[in-house]
């Protein structure tokens, strides 16, 4: 059985990192630790060559983890930064129904046309298809940080409109990473427990 927090059952959670991975002080590691501490099932894989990502290899690895996910629990994906674009490519390519998840949280993805980092060039310009996104996950939510150098609020809101998903804006959140002060982030744990919870600052 899954664990509980405050009497609420925990889902299975797949936590996906971005470029360079998630270091030990990143909120993704904090989240995984909190979920595990309460008896939750959590998977925090490291993609191959996190400092030199290959889109197809990462897609293959993502799908391997989705295929191994339990089917007896609610399945939740929490993707930060480059993993957000990875998820959009995954969805757009047509998802086997057995890989479909219940909820997805896209946290601070780069703008789909971001041109400032050559290492992620292969992940840019995903097809923005709201129907395909719903086939990959029953519901998807986007979280933007005000002042994110990789995605302006205008770009992020345009992305949300294109794929017809709800968006939360974290005032002063930047890229919502360790550099922005997000080592622990209780709001994301609350969202994992209950998707009606808005994402708020740490």
Q: 118: domain range?
A: 4-193
Say if 98 falls within a structural domain.
Answer: yes
Q: What pLDDT shows up at residue 186?
A: 95
What pLDDT does residue 9 have? 78
pLDDT recorded at residue 196: 82
Provide the whole-model pTM.
Answer: 0.94
Contact of 169 with 144, CB cutoff 8 Å = yes
Number of domains present in the structure of the chain: 1
Residue 198 lies in a domain: no
The pLDDT of residue 200 is: 86
DSSP state of 50: T
Residue 200 lies in a domain: no
pLDDT in tens, the chain (202 residues): 456 555 457 999 999 999 999 889 999 999 999 999 999 999 999 999 999 999 999 999 999 999 999 999 999 999 999 999 999 999 999 989 999 999 999 999 999 999 989 999 999 999 999 999 999 999 999 999 999 999 999 999 999 999 999 999 999 999 999 999 999 999 999 999 988 888 888 8
Rounded to whole angstroms, the Cα distance separating 192 from 24 reads 20
Q: What pLDDT, on the 0 to 100 scale, is given for residue 6?
A: 52
- Residue 176 placed within a domain: yes
Give, rounded to a whole angstrom, the gap between the first and last alpha carbons of the chain: 29
Q: Which of 48, 2, 44, 1 lies closest to 23 in space, CA to CA?
A: 44
Q: What is the CATH number of the domain that holds 182?
A: 3.40.50.1820
For residue 170, being part of any structural domain is answered with yes
> What CA–CA distance (Å, rounded) separates 159 from 136?
17
User: Residue 199: inside a domain, yes or no?
Assistant: no
Residue 82 placed within a domain:
yes
CA–CA distance, 189 with 186 (Å, rounded to integer): 5
């Amino acid at each position: 059985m899954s664990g509980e927090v405050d009497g609420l059952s925990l889902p299975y959670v797949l936590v996906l990192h971005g470029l360079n991975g998630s270091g030990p002080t990143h909120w993704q590691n904090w989240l995984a630790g909190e979920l595990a501490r309460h008896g939750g099932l959590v998977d925090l894989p490291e993609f191959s060559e996190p400092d030199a990502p290959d889109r197809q290899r990462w897609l293959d690895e993502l799908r391997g983890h989705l295929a191994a996910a339990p089917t007896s629990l609610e399945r939740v994906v929490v993707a930060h930064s480059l993993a957000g674009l990875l998820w959009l490519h995954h969805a757009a390519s047509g998802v086997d129904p057995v890989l479909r998840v219940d909820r997805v949280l896209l946290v601070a993805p780069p703008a789909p046309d971001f041109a400032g980092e050559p290492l992620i060039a292969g992940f840019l310009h995903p097809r923005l298809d709201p129907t395909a996104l719903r086939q990959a996950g029953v519901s998807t939510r986007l979280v933007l940080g005000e002042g994110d150098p990789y995605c302006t609020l205008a770009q992020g809101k345009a992305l949300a409109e294109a794929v017809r998903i709800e968006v939360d804006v974290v005032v002063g959140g930047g890229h919502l990473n360790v550099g922005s002060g997000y080592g622990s982030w209780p709001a994301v744990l609350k969202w994992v427990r209950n998707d009606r919870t808005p994402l708020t600052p740490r």
